[in-house]
Structure 1
């Protein structure tokens, strides 16, 4: 696809338009994971698709207001900037808001559908499939499959290309959305046709499963970049804030359909108990593959993309990468990046392995799905209160304070795994798990909203989108990169013995895999029984929490105190 031609920046007569283009091109959603704004620290890994886009888009609008200040005199600009940067009272909002136009309503429906299509494969790759594979794979093999979630945290690396390269005859955003959705539909169709082979013996096809789902997440992440950019032009300026609402509705619906709803209807016990049809993974994938194709062909033949005006201010691909590098060279940004990369390590073992351990000990997948569903409305409510708490002059304060309960809930989750009762579990214990999940989820939500508020405050309005995406990328990486090492470590530090009888004599065979369902099944095949001497999960969990407490006390707390006291001017970068 040809790249848009760019004229020399020295000839650009409109610095405001230039900066606005920068903001648009960098405006992309962060990934956390990759699953709901908060991680369910007890019941599922920290991969949720909901991110800080709402604040990012609000910041975009504020950035546009800031750009208009360039046309004012210095004194007028200083006074007007008070309402933009948070140094003074915000200007009063227009009391008479125009109703949403029919065009905007149709655009909102379209955005919801596009985000829905994106949420379906994410819910499979980050939610339900790892729990399905848990019965057949070791933790080391699950660690390999966990690599499939990484692309969603690395979108910043190729987002400038998606913004700048396109076919004018098709449209700037449709040039990417159409082929990406066709590929997503094709990949889901391929998996549906091969699901029996892949899941009957997944240990023989770990790398194929990892490659297919990594591709699925990568393509979905690329589609997400294009949809984010299209949202800025699909909606009118007055209704731009509704883009975050569309993202929330679409992604959450798709994610929970593929995780909560699918796990429930895929369970034989659930379908027999409630008398509903059993839903296979193959049928589910074929359905959504057909939806992808239908929506894509409708976009191609019936939806026309409005052409964005070509201006001299458009950024080149290299221009955006240079801007990103300029931000990374700021000393306080480097301190913030170090803090982000290791901040979540304290509860990384809980996020990556606790839910898998409980399933291993007999916690049913349909009960897991029900627990996630119950927690969902509490996440929304918690996000509202957390947002109010993070509006002060020190948005990092709630983020730092929430570390303590989140670490405490991680410790409690480890103890729950250790003393997990023999199934079937009682109603009282299930209620206890729900309460623990809701409270730990709230602490995670407080952290998510607090750090997003801080990112919004410090991001340079001239390049708000790029700045926000960069900071959110490192935040998401902090929760993503440890997972592979955690799951590998569980197997590496586990010591188990498979005791079997041979000719009337008991023999013992060392088997690191004996702590997982996969290892236990291998032991049973030779007529033995697994006896775990050391479970690496507890060692890894203890190491993570110890590091988390030390890093919080000696680095995060003093660094956060310094960062939030810095004036806004030091966070600005010079754009050539």
Structure 2
């Protein structure tokens, strides 16, 4: 096959839509864990510190550790059920059960006490620090288990994507992942928070105000659990491991042409499906110089954005930005994420299929991203996210002192959010397309999991450190009787009739540190190494 795949092959539409659905389900717990729960903790439990939120981020660690058990997922399965369906079906079923149980526990105040009080006719009040600590420790364990299952499902789905799409449509695996994950993430984070907010509902939807939204956290978790179970039943009874509506690839005889037949990426070599064989191949992959270079890029590339993406929204909330207004800004992002995400995927796919990219003539472009190649979208995304991180500093620094949000400031918040989320999508799609291009189908699930795990790890390991730095560099003081005096606790200050002041915000110190390190890494290491990796032949990535 030659040329650029301008559209998805007709016979790959159904497998593509199935992948979108499976990635969508993964996005549901990811959106809850990465976005919704920290947001609710910060908005409802005023005493929740950034360090405590950093502890909750431990629930996201399975996505950065899944490579440890990915060879097991790749090699142990039921031949009757299928290599991928053997894991996807039971894992999704168990995830649905856990979501339902967790929703029930929250509705009975057994977990995250008070979060749904308004829905039960109880006057909700701000949680104290002690209760938030208990909620955080409990929630961390609950969502750690859920994300571990989600990460296991991701291993199987990534491997399935390399097998159920034909080679001519393989680059669209990243499109399915982008559309599915983003939709699930935004439904569980942005859309949920909007419809969970009483202020948002009363301002934009309802004619008669009420003291709660229309979707409780417990109700949403139960709904998500039911959706998981419904899709699992569909997978069990209405799908097969391999496509059945397309002709198989025959053996070529003499001068017979086989271009009209569909080439899939099935692997039947026992050395690549046994547990010991997969682990051996896995260690061979780790020894490849190309993979080691890519590993180094992944582990350091996301440090520059951690303060912005982990704390900016929470800092706006802390400064007095209304919850319903923040929900509106992120809701505006959602259609752009889906629409632009699709075209970014096509951009990455087209670049990946070019035999020879034209030489760059623009000196500014060459300085910023180098010669064009498969990783060009990812490099542009890095610079865009770096710019968004800088704009975040401006937003927080110029937050209105009186708390009155003007239309101009609100527009700035929208622009900053849109830039950051869009460029994050550009990077995500770009690196997924690159991973799909270089992954060896012989150990597709493990290979893709290794690459995706390294990418996830780059955004996971610094998060706790960054959130701790914000608290560490923040300085408070208690003002009373027109004097400034040191105080050990906010409660003591307020009880004494004083005013608790922030005299130094650690957010600015931390964000500037991240941006500076990011610039040095990008122009000193990342751009140059990415240029080298995108020029390597396919053989440099194979473990055989």
TM-score (norm 2): 0.75
CA distance in 2 between counterparts of 1:279 and 1:155 reads 32
Aligned to 2:366: none
* Contact kept? 2:300, 2:458, Cα under 8 Å: yes
Query: Are 1:545 and 2:515 an aligned pair?
Result: yes
Mean Cα displacement is larger for which, 404-413 or 539-548? 404-413
The structure showing larger relative contact order (alpha-carbon pairs under 8 Å, at least 6 residues apart) is: 1
- CA RMSD for the aligned pairs? 3.6
1:480-519 mapped onto 2 (5 Å cutoff): 480-499=460-479, 508-511=486-489
Aligned to 2:415: 435
Q: For 1:74-223, what aligned pairs fall within 5 Å after superposition?
A: 90=2, 99-100=10-11, 105=14, 110-135=18-43, 136=45, 137-168=48-79, 170-195=81-106, 196-197=109-110, 198-200=112-114, 201-223=131-153
Structure 1 residues 244-323: aligned runs within 5 Å: 246-276=176-206, 278-297=214-233, 299-300=235-236, 302-303=237-238, 305-306=240-241, 312=270, 314-323=272-281
Q: In 2, distance between residues paired with 1:227 and 1:318? A: 21
How far 1:110 moved relative to its partner?
A: 4.9
Equivalent in the alignment of 2:540: 571
Counterpart among 504, 509, 518 of residue 534 in structure 1: 504
1:295 Cα offset (Å): 3.7
Q: How does 1:338-487 map to 2 (within 5 A)?
A: 338-379=296-337, 380-381=339-340, 384=343, 387=348, 392=357, 394-397=373-376, 399-400=378-379, 402-421=381-400, 422-455=402-435, 458-459=438-439, 466-487=446-467
CA distance in 1, matches of 2:343, 2:409: 28
Could you report, residue by residue, the CA deviation over 1:292-351 in whole angstroms, capped at 9, with x for unpaired residues?
334434555x34645899764542222222222222223343233222211221222112
Residue 156 to residue 433, structure 1, CA distance change in 2 (3 Å): same
Aligned to 2:263: none
Contact preservation (8 Å) 1:348, 1:479: yes
Mark the runs of 5 or more structure 1 residues left unpaired by the alignment: 1-82, 84-89, 515-520
Q: Secondary structure at the match of 1:481?
A: helix
Q: Distance in 1 between matches of 2:441 and 2:162?
A: 16
1:84-124: per-residue Cα shift (whole Å, max 9, x none)? xxxxxx358899x98549xx74x666544443333222221
Structure-1 separation of matches of 2:184 and 2:437:
31
Say which SS state the counterpart of residue 510 (structure 1) adopts. Answer: coil
Q: 1:181 & 1:463 partners in 2: Cα distance?
A: 23
Asked if 1 retains the 8 angstrom alpha-carbon contact of 2:159 and 2:444, the reply is no
CA distance in 1, matches of 2:542, 2:224: 44
Q: CA deviation at 1:140?
A: 0.9
* TM-aligned CA distance change 1:455 to 1:191, over 3 Å: closer
In 2, the alpha carbon distance for the partners of 1:334 and 1:470 equals 11
**Distance in 2 of aligned mates of 1:215 and 1:466:** 21
CA contact (8 A) 2:159 2:445 kept: no
Q: Which residue of 1 aligns with 2:117?
A: none
SS in 1 for 2:501: strand
- How far apart are 1:141 and its partner, in Å? 0.7
CA distance, structure 2, for counterparts of residue 246 and residue 453 of structure 1: 11
CA distance in structure 2 between the aligned counterparts of 1:494 and 1:476, rounded to whole angstroms: 28
SS in 2 for 1:279: coil
| Matched residue SS, 1:530 | strand
Distance of aligned partners of 1:574 and 1:121 in 2 relative to their CA distance in 1, 3 Å threshold:
closer
Do the aligned residues in 2 keep the contact of 1:348 with 1:486 (CA within 8 Å)?
yes
CA contact (8 A) 1:500 1:508 kept: no
In the TM superposition, residue 262 of structure 1 has moved relative to its aligned partner by 0.9
Moved more, 416-425 or 190-199: 190-199
Partner Cα separation in structure 2 for residue 500 and residue 191 of structure 1? 45
Q: What is the alpha-carbon distance in structure 2 between the residues aligned to residue 472 and residue 478 of structure 1?
A: 10
Aligned length: 471
Mapped partners of 2:79, 2:378: distance in 1:
44
Q: Say which SS state the counterpart of residue 394 (structure 1) adopts.
A: coil
How many Å separate the matches in 2 of 1:337 and 1:99?
Answer: 36
Gaps in structure 2 of 5+ consecutive residues? 115-130, 207-212, 243-265, 358-371
Q: Report the alpha carbon displacement of residue 486 of structure 1 after superposing the two structures with TM.
A: 0.6
Helix, strand or coil at the partner of 2:476: strand
In the alignment, is the contact (CA less than 8 A) between 1:131 and 1:356 conserved in 2?
A: yes
| Equivalent residue, structure 2, for 1:52 | none
Residues 437, 522 of structure 1: alpha-carbon distance in 2 compared, 3 angstrom cutoff: farther
Closer, same or farther: CA 465–485 of 1 in aligned 2, 3 Å: same
Q: CA deviation at 1:215?
A: 0.9
Structure-2 residue corresponding to 1:12: none
